[in-house]
Amino acid sequence: NLSVAYRLAAQRKQIDAALAPFLLSLETLREVKNKMRTELEYGLRRETQASATVKMLPTYVCGTPDGTEKGKFLALDLGGTNFRVLLVKIRSGRRRSVQMYNKIFAIPLEIMQGTGEELFDHIVQCIADFLEYMGIKGARLPLGFTFSFPCRQGTLVGWTKGFKATDCEGEDVVDMLREAIRRRNEFDLDIVAVVNDTVGTMMTCGYEDPNCEIGLIAGTGSNVCYMEDMKNIEIVEGNEGKMCINTEWGAFGDNGCIDNIRTKYDKEVDEGSLNPGKQRYEKMTSGMYLGEIVRQILIDLTKQGLLFRGQISESLRKRGIFETKFLSQIESDRLALLQVRRILQQLGLDSTCEDSIIVKEVCGAVSKRAAQLCGAGLAAIVEKKRENRGVERLQITVGVDGTLYKLHPQVLQETVKELAPQCDVTFMLSEDGSGKGAALITAVAKRLHNIDKYLYAMRLSDETLIDVMARFRREMKNGLSRDFNPTAAVKMLPTFVRSIPDGSEKGDFIALDLGGSYFRILRVKVSHEKKQTVQMESEIYNTPEDIMHGSGTRLFDHVAECLGDFMEKQQIKDKKLPVGFTFSFPCRQSKLDEGILITWTKRFKASGVEGADVVRLLNRAIKKRGDYDADIMAVVNDTVGTMMTCGFDDQRCEVGLIIGTGTNACYMEEMRHIDLVEGDEGRMCINTEWGAFGDDGSLEDIRTEFDREIDRGSLNPGKQLFEKMVSGLYMGELVRLILVKMAKEGLLFEGRITPELLTKGKFETKHVSAIEKSKEGLNKAKEILTRLGVEPSHEDCIAVQHVCTIVSFRSANLVASTLGAILNQLRDNKGVGRLRTTVGVDGSLYKMHPQYARRLHKTTRRLVPDSEVRFLLSESGSGKGAAMVTAVAYRLSEQHRLIDETLAEFKLTHEQLLQVKKRMRAEMEAGLKKKTHETAKVKMLPTFVRSTPDGTGKGMPLLE
């Protein structure tokens, strides 16, 4: 008995040694998770994606089902030896349901490993049989194709799972299917989407649970997909929304990063496979290979005399004899050892009861390791999702399909829980497979297509933006030209601001800032003690609507009254301080302290001001009061004020940009290019007044029906068309018009339209900003829409957020294209290969919208790659800038005064010059007279030269 105990103990030691590498510690699993996370990031980045093992393939599936999908769809499901064709009928509304009819067709081995043409002809034959069977051969149905192999934009990257059909890798599988349908010439199909089985699984489960954003396949193959934020997907253009990423994680480890956990059995299975060195993670986790790993272990244990009496039978030597289905059966808890022994005998393995115990243990170790490895990979993804959302705790659902998941669901779930403790993960088994998912993706694609048809015109490609950039550059040139300026839409107004602050400015200044319903007055003190400092005190005054729309006299009397009140509060009514006037409307200037209003914008309509000098009107209003005096030294636009404010902090700043209620830009232009002003030396700031870009029809091809409706309902139809496409005054109204149209079409709010939604101005631009916030955006959408009388569904909120995104993104893109034209002009002016400059920016849209600044920066850098642009936010507004312009003007005037004082004694009056002439005459007379010659200051010495040349040239005088 003792010898038997020793033998059993020795056996147990050998078996434990063989299975020890399959027992993974929590520390090892955490290491696998971290490595997977690293590989996920590599696959998403543009510079590392080509060499990444985990390819992170974009699927172009950008939404999950929302319950509004409906219709009949055809679905194909190809991913193994069986090919399934389905007819899926989806009903929406309260009685929503999915009915499915399907037929399964075999894919013979010779077809799987034959030519691509043979494979797709066979697929089309199966489709024809199904259509015939269902009696729908004449219908052109939308089709979704579940193609469970690695694809990049529909192009097959490489076969897996035993497929080897030639002439397919590197080809578009949809084109190959269409070509096969054309060859048969019996029916036609509308192929809408090609998807991976993981995506199909996620969509199937997502139909039941909107929180499902991950799809996991744990069956013949192993793979996962998930919804990734577009801003993290560098290999696809665009930043907004989400897209499903097919990770193709089966290739994880192909670069050797998990070699430390690969066993000798894994290596033997890999070397004997169709694709040695590839899909290493899949070969450790998927059903296609687990049975073969078990067979290799059983051979090793038999060689050691621990199994089957040390006899390796012929059947055990056969590759593939130990199928994964046997592994599943043997592992079943309900299966008695006698039944395990019967399965082994069916495989030609003469086993004892003891053998059955060991075989069951081996199967358990191999499949549990697979579940743990899948759990480690999944933990990396759910943690990434949590970080994307920026939440402390994530609740998410994983849709799962595959026979192996059903073996050890508990092991996989516990592994995820241990490795991602801040994530509450629900696992949902896909009962209907990925075919239903393909049909749902097709339905979602159709729904999104219906929504996107309203927004398509607002999606501007880089090609279009570059074209807009070129058009604006031409407009700039026309505006600067004396010949073309009168008819140019973009007026390119000279400001007579010739330099930015140089750091030596000092003094006490008043700044006025008029550009909207609020009028701001500032006192700005610039001092030089240890370093240059700026102290500011300001007061904001309301500009009532009746004054904005009344007479010019009333408007400037109001401005003068506010200024008097401010000076009273500051106790400076007895001083005559230099004043800078930020007047944020298009003005023509011939000098710095003059501004002739061309036209009102931004809801101002005061009469008698257009064509008049606003400085003169203000001076008249101040003089009429008579209780204080002011020296208005400069009138500037808000863009100029912004540039000067930022220029005080960064002397490289040579562009000012406003993106708020209105939009405009200014920049420092070379004098030699400004035909409108005399002189070729130096530079001058040009106020582009780009809000009027397009008023001559140059943007008609990109204006939408909604832009035209906005324009028709505005105070100034036909004017400021670019501003109406991009600025904060109009953005909310643009969104409202789109929502009304979509609701009328039944695409939103179940077709309900409330009086509030029909009221102009009810949907404000601040609502767009709130809805686009990454964390609470959807909650804000629900709150805002509820206030408008709409009872939105979750899907309505997603769609409204999508509309807001498209409208605000277009704005940022268009501003980037016009700014790009200015940057190109600056670079060409300087004659440099790479421009380094700073853009000063102000405006509520730029400051308050959560995504706007980032989008603008990114698009600008993409459109003008040969520039290094710093965007500097103007913290103090354009009022400080007006003070800075005044300070520069004051500094220059002081410089001129000091120079004049220094040179004053050199300046002689006419009377002084006559006196000098008279004295010189008297001195000359004294020098000629013998009597006074000796004392004369002007000696008048004789030379004895008695004549000048007479032109004859005769004679040769002797010179001594």
Burial 297-312 (b: 16+ CB within 10 A, else e): bbbbbbeeebbbeeee
Length of the chain: 960
Sorted by sequence, the CB contacts under 8 Å of residue 673 that are 6+ apart come out as: 480, 829
Lookup result for tokens 């401005």? 559
| Catalytic annotation present for 520 | yes
Q: Which of 584, 817, 867, 878 is an active site residue?
A: 584
- Does the active-site annotation cover 638? yes
Task: Fill in the DSSP letter of residue 349.
Answer: -
Compute CA distances 586 → 494, 678, 831, whole Å: 11, 21, 30
Q: What is the dihedral of CA 269, 275, 277, 282, to 10 degrees?
A: -70
| Structure tokens that stand for 367 in this block | 């499949």
Longest dimension (CA), the chain: 162
Secondary structure E strands in 63-207:
71-78, 82-91, 97-106, 142-147, 151-152, 155-156, 190-195
Q: Which residue has the tokens 């949809």?
A: 174
Spatial separation of the C-alpha atoms in residues 648 and 838, rounded to whole Å: 12
SS3 713: coil
- Cα 887 to Cα 895: distance, rounded to the nearest angstrom: 12
Amino acid (one-letter) located at 8: L
CB neighbours of residue 383 within 10 Å: 20
The 3-class SS string of 647-702 reads HHHCCCEEEEEEECCCEEEEEEEEHHHCCCCCCCCCEEEEECCHHHCCCCCCCCCC
Q: What does residue 192 show for φ and ψ, rounded to 5 degrees?
A: -95, -40
Residue-wise DSSP of 521-585: EEEEEEEESSSEEEEEEEEEEE--HHHHTSBHHHHHHHHHHHHHHHHHHHT-TT---EEEEEE-S
Rounded to the nearest 5 degrees, what angle is found at the Cα of 489, between the Cα atoms of 488 and 493? 75
**Which has the closest alpha carbon to 435: 107, 204, 92?**
204
As given in the structure block, the two tokens for residue 762 are 């009810």
Of the candidates 498, 830, 856, 863, the one whose C-alpha atom is nearest the C-alpha of residue 666 is 498
SS3 216: strand
Annotated catalytic residue, options 266, 355, 638, 695: 638
The CA distance from 76 to 436, in Å, is 9
> Which residue out of 520, 523, 554, 810 is catalytically annotated?
520
Helix (H, G, I), strand (E, B) or coil at 217: strand
Residue 584 is among the residues annotated as catalytic for this protein: yes
CA pair distance 258, 557, nearest whole angstrom: 79
Distance CA(170)–CA(191), nearest Å, equals: 19
Tokens of 764: 């404000």
By the 8 A CB rule, do 493 and 588 touch?
yes
The dihedral built from the CA positions of residue 267, 273, 277 and 279, taken in this order, carries a sign that is negative
Give the sign of the dihedral formed by CA 887, CA 893, CA 896, CA 902.
Answer: negative
**Which stretches does DSSP call E strand in 20-140?**
57-58, 71-78, 82-91, 97-106
Site of tokens 């193709």: 248
Measure Cα distances from 42 to 35, 36, 154, 215, 252 in Å: 11, 10, 21, 21, 12
Q: Catalytic site residues?
A: 520, 584, 638
